[in-house]
Amino acid sequence: MKKIKEFAEKDRLQQPLLVKECKNGTTSKGAPYLNLVLQDSSGTIDGKFWDVKPQDAEKVHVGRIALFSFEVLLYNQNLQLRINRVEEISESDVDLANFVIASEVSEKERRDRLNHFLGMIQNENLRKMTEGLLAKTGEKYFTYPAASRIHHSFLGGLSEHSLSMAEMSEMVCRHYPQLNPDLMIAGALIHDIGKTAEMSGAVTTEYTLAGRLEGHISLANGWLSEVAAELGLEDTEEAILLHHMILSHHGHYEYGSPVLPMLMEAEALAMIDNLDARMNTLKAAMEGVKPGGWTQRLFSMDNRQFYKPKG
């Protein structure tokens, strides 16, 4: 079976792929079609199923694997599938590991790095609250993605993103010694922890009802109140500061932060969060681009295209 990252223009293939996203559309002439994002362990690719019949649409389900017949086309300098036929397939006949995108960093390494950063937090109150929040999520911290599609949207993405931010926080604190490294590292480790309730699962994730109506920032902030109260730390300055790190980490009201950063550490954390998310988005976008080519337009990057140098 050919992997998505190995697809080439003019390929004509029939093989199973996992349906990551599926949206109904209608052409200007009123014909129905499906706009799909299909996935295997090497990546994702957009696909169009034109003039789709109701009996075919019923065979396509988000989170399920189906057998697709398709052609590979070049559209706006990016490969895209034109799907001609779809058939249902029993998932017992395929190895699910071939369809799951996972962190390139092993779970053992991520666990070791988490223990390293927890050991760096010298402030006992901050460390206890951070450990309490991590205990609330359990295994989900290491399996959930950090987003449904835009950045770190793969198995283990949440912990990879959070640990990457903790590593950058450590470096930034060495460069700017006026920053509190305990608060920076604690904030990096738990800022997105509410995503374990905002999203439905580790593989083909969708937003839950709580995720849509409350959001991961509010969910994590509520959990921190519970953890701090259980530890008898709810009235401490450290609890208030950690609340602020969670509430302000998107940096702007229009990006979903209930409050703006009003601590040096909160300002730095929001910038680090944005940098790590954008670099991961660009890394993924560049993977299918040949030197001298351009990415597709990236909605999360102001709808810009990015050039991949030849050198």
Give 33-90 as a DSSP string: EEEEEEEETTEEEEEEETT--HHHHTT--TT-EEEEEEEEEEETTEEEEEEEEEEE--
The pLDDT of residue 82: 96
- Domains, the chain, in order of start with CATH, read 4-99 (2.40.50.140), 107-284 (no CATH)
Gap between the Cα atoms of 37 and 69, Å rounded: 15
The pLDDT of residue 246: 97
Helical (H) or strand (E) element with 107: helix 107-120
How much of the chain, in percent, has pLDDT values that exceed 90?
71
Gap between the Cα atoms of 141 and 143, Å rounded: 6
Q: Count, in order, helices (H) and strands (E) of the chain.
A: 11, 5
The single residue listed with the structure tokens 């995503």 is 195
Instruction: Provide the angle, in degrees to the nearest 10, between the axes of the packed helices 264-286 and 181-190.
Output: 50
The pLDDT of residue 149: 61
The pLDDT of residue 117: 98
Q: CB neighbours of 302 closer than 8 A, spacing ≥ 6?
A: none
| 7-11, 125-129, 192-196, 283-287 — most confident range | 125-129
| 107-111, 169-173, 194-198, 276-280 — most confident range | 169-173
Look at 63 and 302; give whichever has higher pLDDT: 302
The pLDDT of residue 289: 83
The encoded tokens of residue 55 equal 């009996």
How much of the chain, in percent, has pLDDT values that exceed 70?
97
Which residue stretches of 138-232 are H helix?
Answer: 140-143, 157-175, 181-190, 195-198, 209-213, 215-230
SS (H, E, C) 256-283: CCCCCCCCHHHHHHHHHHHHHHHHHHHH
Query: Does 41 score more than 70 pLDDT?
Result: yes
Query: Does 12 score more than 90 pLDDT?
Result: yes
The whole-chain average pLDDT of the chain stands at 91
Exposure class string for 1-33: b at 16+ Cβ within 10 A, else e: eeebeebeeeeeeeebbbbbbbeeeeeeeeeeb
Query: Does 97 score more than 80 pLDDT?
Result: no
**Coil, strand or helix: which one is 243?**
helix
The single residue listed with the structure tokens 């999360």 is 300
Reference 111, options 162, 185, 177; nearest CA is 162
The pLDDT of residue 150: 61
The pLDDT of residue 203: 64
Query: Does 61 score more than 90 pLDDT?
Result: no
Query: Does 69 score more than 70 pLDDT?
Result: yes
- The tens digit of pLDDT for each residue in 190-241 reads 999 999 999 887 666 678 899 999 999 999 999 999 999 999 999 999 999 9
The pLDDT of residue 151: 63
The pLDDT of residue 44: 87
Instruction: Count other Cβ atoms within 10 Å, centred on residue 311.
Output: 4
The pLDDT of residue 238: 98
Q: CB neighbours of 238 closer than 8 A, spacing ≥ 6?
A: 123, 125, 126, 129, 183
pLDDT band of residue 24 (cuts 50, 70, 90) is: very high
Query: Does 176 score more than 70 pLDDT?
Result: yes
Query: Does 285 score more than 70 pLDDT?
Result: yes
**Coil, strand or helix: which one is 195?**
helix
**Coil, strand or helix: which one is 113?**
helix
The reply to whether the predicted model has a pTM over 0.75 is yes
Length of the chain: 311
Instruction: Give the CA dihedral 179, 182, 185, 186, nearest 10 degrees.
Output: -130
The pLDDT of residue 232: 97
The pLDDT of residue 98: 86
The encoded tokens of residue 84 equal 């001609």
